Amino acid sequence: MTRALFGTDGVRGRANSEPMTPETIMKLAAAAGRYFRRDQQDHRVVIGKDTRLSGYMLENALTSGFTSTGMNVFLLGPVPTPAVGYLTRSMRADVGVMISASHNPASDNGIKFFGPDGFKLSDSAEIEIESILGAGVSLSQPANIGRAKRIDDAGGRYVEYAKTTFPRKLRLDGLRIVIDCAHGAAYRVAPSVLWELGAEVIRIGVEPNGSNINDKCGSTHPDTTAARVRETRADIGICLDGDADRLIVLDEKGQVVDGDQLMGLIATRWAAEDRLAGKALVATVMSNLGLERHLNGLGIELVRTSVGDRYVVEAMRENGNNLGGEQSGHLVMTDYATTGDGLIAALQVLAAMVETGKRASQLTQVFKPVPQTLRNVRYTKGSAPLETEAVQEAIAKGEERLGASGRLLIRKSGTEPLIRVMGEAEDRTMLTEVIDSICSAVAAAS
């Protein structure tokens, strides 16, 4: 059986349209409640959300569904996605739920499930929940209906935990930090953590109104933060997305730091401190070849996975690694969190700044990136251009030309009828010629 309701990161869609309607989400919660109930009297679920207006509607729908199957519901209010993973474990809950569509606009919303270990659900668990939903959920008897309770200090609990991930001997005194919370889930907790650690904090995106989340702010729009960094002569800029599981860093010049550089920085430091589990960093196929060469030179392996933070986490758990992430800014540190955590990742960068005394621009130039080109070629739905002989021949010729000096990655998009053609090579002219040839072949076959 394949998943029909769940996508690559939970259930997502336009609010008040299928599947993000109160009726469907209530039924989904009831199915998840039946799946997670164990043979004990106290069955718990924690529910967090970001700041979207539709969060109120979906929070109530989830509460109805879970309580109908005997689950006791603890409502966390607006908290980051990693806080839900943390509090699921901390409160000994059977399941955690985050209501968020991450970096998507306010008109969208989504549901992410976490197991009792705080990690996102596996494909098999999601398939089983869909199976229960399809078969019809057995509801609890009146005496066994669950209760709901609001946890007023959920944000404070996460603030205190986040601070424990920052070296106890250090403070952020003297650092001026611009932080953009995207009018999202971290609008209170992230500035509080930085301020309590001693930083001078300049806040952006901390006035949510239900409809302005990610609107020209946050990790997908770092220009506002860049301008404020330059204007205030800040030491660093930090941009989070709507649910704060993604991080974009800007140096003191207002320049965006590539996610591969951040992963390279943390991996290098952890390896030197003998705390990089398995002497490996887990990243996706999109990470730059320059990162791989830098790590290999230090005796560190780069383990590559398919695109998507869930695949990074799966590989980390399977191999016993404690550091992984994506070029786009999802950094996962399982010593501290069960999913990407933008704030805790930022604290690692800030700790490096304090310990080394280096400016952000110096600290985050860890390796020289290999020139990379990415192009998208649209194809007709139903066609399969990558299976044609002409395209396969163009790819083979391209790989032969690049040889050991570069690499190619050609794949179908998981969300749109696009073929993504990515290449890396030291010789930019040759790389452009190779990419042009493959894109032309794909276009002709579409």
Q: Averaged in consecutive runs of 10 residues, what is the pLDDT profile of the chain (446 residues)?
A: 77 96 97 81 92 98 97 98 97 97 96 95 92 92 95 98 97 98 98 98 98 96 97 98 97 97 98 97 95 97 92 95 95 96 98 98 96 92 86 95 92 84 94 96 90
Three-state SS for 353? Answer: helix
- Could you give the CA distance from residue 155 to residue 134 in angstroms, rounded to a whole number? 36
Residue type, 97: V
pTM score, two decimals? 0.91
Ordered alpha helix ranges (H), 273-388: 289-297, 309-319, 342-356, 360-363
Q: Where in the chain is the domain with CATH 3.30.310.50?
A: 372-445
Residue 7, pLDDT score: 83
Using alpha carbons, select from 362, 377, 364, 446 the residue that is nearest to residue 411. Answer: 377
Residues with catalytic function: 102
The pLDDT score that the predictor gives to residue 383 is 79
CATH 3.40.120.10 in the chain is located at 11-152, 158-255, 257-356
The identity of residue 334, as a single letter, is T
**pLDDT on residue 308:** 85
- What architecture is domain 372-445? 2-Layer Sandwich (3.30)
At the second CATH level, the architecture of 257-356 is: 3-Layer(aba) Sandwich (3.40)
Class of domain 11-152: alpha beta
Q: Which CATH superfamily is domain 158-255 in?
A: Alpha-D-Glucose-1,6-Bisphosphate, subunit A, domain 3 (3.40.120.10)
Residue carrying the six token digits 């396969």: 392
CB burial readout 295-326, b (16+ within 10 A) else e:
beeeebbbbbbebebbbbbbbbeeeebbbbbb
389/385 Cα distance (integer angstroms) = 9
pLDDT at 123: 87
- What does the pLDDT read at residue 1? 53
